[in-house]
Amino acid sequence: KKDMSARVALLRMDRDGLVTLPKPLHGNGNGLITRYAKPIAELPFAYPESLDDLCPIKFAIANTKAQKQRWRNLIASYHYLGYTTFAGAKGRYLIESSSGTIAAIGFAASPWSCAPRDNYIGWDKATRETRLHLVVGNARFLILPQVRVVNLASYILSRVARRLPWRLATRLRVPTCTLGDLRGVCQVHRSELQGGELDPCRANQRSGQT
């Protein structure tokens, strides 16, 4: 599960002159845009307009092939960043209600370089290198566009934040102390600390890619 993180580390060491890697045997497929068929309309009728009407709300870990494909389809079709593969440890959830799927959320390894985050926590370079695995990034958070329910985003985030450390510690063997997320209006609530904005061009410092 950590092979992608190891590859990123090796590439960084190669660029820093610490090791010399052989030339790749195959081209880099990450530059290709992964396309997924747009999913069928989720429901032929309107979603409820209150949080109580949506309950019970269940969180399904996207483990099966069908669940993973559905998660990718939703993110590729409706999320403003689209779908890209995540590096390192990852976790993906489909959020289901009494009316069907209402949201999808995904977590991945935190970006290597994020000055506002490091300054807020109080990390120097050496500390970041030893503690970065304790920070998990909220890589994608999507509420389907036809779902407009007050307080739904905060409800989902609070429930996921409670279960995510257990999920990563038990299934992926990654202890979690801090959760970082994307910048978005729906995610700004009173329990969230605003550390700063991430520069996508420097987040992982990959050659020519963001």
pLDDT tens, 138-163? 889 999 988 888 889 989 988 887 77
Percent of residues, the chain, with pLDDT higher than 90: 15
Domains of the chain: 48-187 (3.40.630)
Buried-exposed string 117-150: b where 16+ CB fall within 10 A, e elsewhere: bbeebebeeeebeeebbebbbbbbbbbbeebebe
Average confidence (pLDDT) over 35-54: 64
Residue 120: its pLDDT value, please? 80
Q: Report which secondary-structure segment, H or E, holds 51.
A: helix 51-54
Model confidence at 36: pLDDT above 70: no
Q: Pick 190 or 16 by higher pLDDT.
A: 16
Strands of the 90-97 sheet, one edge to the other = 58-61, 90-97, 100-109, 135-143, 178-181
**How far apart are alpha carbons 147 and 47 in whole angstroms?**
6
pLDDT grade, residue 93 (50/70/90)?
very high
Residue 103: its pLDDT value, please? 94
What's the pTM value of the predicted model, to 2 decimals? 0.65
In this structure, which amino acid lies at residue 51? L
Distances (CA, A) of 208 to 7, 202, 205: 17, 10, 8
